[in-house]
Amino acid sequence: MKILTVVGARPNFMKAAPIIAAIREHNGRPLAESADQPKRPAETIRHILVHTGQHYDALMSGSFFSDLNLPEPDIHLGAGSGSHAIQTAEIMKKFEEVLLAEKPDVVVVVGDVNSTLACALVTSKISFDSGGSRPVIAHVEAGLRSFDRSMPEEVNRIVTDHVSDLLFVTEESGLLNLSKEGVSPDKIHFVGNTMIDSLLHFKEKAEESTILERLALVRQARKNGGAKSITRYALLTLHRPSNVDNRDVFLNIMAGLEELATNYPVIFPVHPRTQRRIREFGFEFGLDGNAGKHNGNGQSSGNWRDGIILTDPLGYLDFLCLMKHAALVVTDSGGIQEETTILGTPCVTVRENTERPVTVKNGTNTIAGTKTETIKDGIRRQLGRRHENGVPKNWDGRAGARIIDILVLGHHGNAPSCPGAAALEDQYSCPQHH
Ligand code: UD1
C-alpha cells in the first residue's frame, strides 16, 4: 500500500507527524492479526511525504521538521507565496505531475490551508487509467465549520470535505456539520485530533526548551535557596487577514490588549504576514524584541507598547513551552484554541466565531470578538476564571494510529446515523461572539 501525505503550511506539520509516526509503527510490526488469519503478514506501507512549499522560511517550516522528528520531504513542490489563485494553481499544477508519477493508493491531506484544498481537488479529478481509477482521498480534521465564508479556510474546508472519500473528524461538531451537509456516514470516522497527539507526545520534551530564559521570564529568587520562578506572562498570536490586513482593525485589537500589557509582559511571536503589516502601518514597536524592559515583578515599566515583547515566529517546542506556562493566551489561530484546551491555559480568541466549539464547551476558550472593549472584557473574564478543563472525546494521543488502522483495514465510517448526529445539535452549534 502506498500512502502520500501532503504538508505545506505551518499548522500542517504537527497534524501530519502522528500519522507518519503511526505508519512507522505499523511497518515495524512483524505480524498483523485478524480474526480469520491470526498470523498473516502485515502489509507494508510505502510512504511519500510531499511538501508544497506554501510556507518556506526556516522559521515557518524548517524548524518544525527537526522539532517534530519529521522525515525530510520526499518531494518538494516549491510553490511559495502568491494570491490565493496563484498559490493554489501553482500547487495544483505541480501536484498533478507528482500524482501521475507516483500513483499512490491514498492521498492524505490535513487541515484547511490552500495546500489541503489544492491537493484534494487535483486527486479528485485525476485518472490513472481508462477506468478512471484514482487514489482514495483522506481528509484529516474534517467537518469543522465557522459558517463564515469570508475566511479562506472555511471555503477550503467545505470543498475539501466534499471531494474526500474518508473524513477523519476531530470533534463531535464535525459529525453534525457533515451530517447536515448530506455526507454519507460511511465515509466519516471520529478518530480524535492528531494535533493533540503531537502535543501529548512532545509536552515533556518542550520543558527542555530555554525560551523562558531567553525571554527573561525566569526569576531566580534571592531567598529560598535561589529557587527559580516563572514571571506571570501572556502570549499573543495574530495572523488572520481579517485581523491584521486592515490598520484600524489591527489597532483596535492592540488597544484591547492595553490593560493586559500594562500588567503583564505579553510575548508576541509575529507571523510573517503580521510583520509585514506592522512595518507597512508604521506601528511603533520594533521587530527585534524588547525583552527585559519589563521590571520582572509582573508590573510594566510604563507605555503599554513596552509590555509587548515581539519575537520572530518560534519553533514548535519553544511555543509549546510558552503556551504551557502562560497565564493567558490571546490568539486568532484555530489550532491554539485546541492546544490551550488540553494544556488548561485560559484562551481568549480574537475572532467573531470558532469552527472548534468543543474548545469553548469543554475547554478553556472564550470567543471575544475583535472590538477593543469586548477583547478587554474577554481578557478580564479569563484572567479571573478558575479553569477546570475537560478533555474532549478521543483527544487521547491515538488519532494517528486510528487513522492508519482504518486506512489499512478499510473499515466503514463510525459516525452516528442521522438521528444520532441530530441529537448533538444543541451541544455543538457554533459559538459566536455576541
Ligand atoms: C496560512 C493559512 C492559514 C494558517 C497559516 C499559519 C491559507 C489560506 N492560510 O496563512 O490557515 O493559519 O498559514 O501560518 O492557507 N510568508 C513568509 N514566509 C513563509 C510563508 C509565508 O514570509 O514561509 C509570507 C508571505 O509573504 C506570504 C504571507 O506570509 O504572502 C502569507 O502566507 P500564506 O501562506 O499565503 O498564508 P498565511 O497567512 O501564512
Q: What is the pLDDT of residues 292-340, one digit of tens each?
A: 344 333 333 334 467 899 999 999 999 999 999 999 999 999 999 999 9
**Short-list 335, 354, 400, CA closest to 138:** 400
Residue 113 CA to ligand 1 centre (angstroms): 9
Q: Which residues contact 350 (CB under 8 A, 6 or more apart)?
A: 238, 243, 253, 256, 330, 331, 332, 368, 369, 370, 375
Q: What atom in ligand 1 is closest to the CA of residue 240?
A: 38
Determine what percent of the chain is predicted with pLDDT higher than 70: 85
Checking if the pLDDT of 419 tops 60, the result is no
Given ligand 1 and candidates 13, 14, 15, 54, which is best to mutate, with the most ligand atoms within 8 Å of its CB? 54
Ligand 1 mutation target, pool 63, 273, 331, most atoms within 8 A of CB: 273
Q: Supply the pLDDT for residue 302.
A: 36
Residue 385 — pLDDT band, cuts 50, 70, 90? confident
- Cα angle: 239, vertex 240, 241; to 5 degrees: 110
CB 1 within 8 A of CB 45: yes
Residue 235: count other Cβ atoms within 10 Å of its Cβ. 26
What is the rounded distance in angstroms from the CA atom of residue 398 to the CA atom of residue 79?
32
Specify the pLDDT at position 390: 83
For the CA of 56, the closest atom of ligand 1 is 23
User: Which residues form the pocket of ligand 1, taking CB atoms under 6 Å from any ligand atom?
Assistant: 9-11, 54-57, 60-61, 81, 87, 112-114, 152-153, 239, 271-273
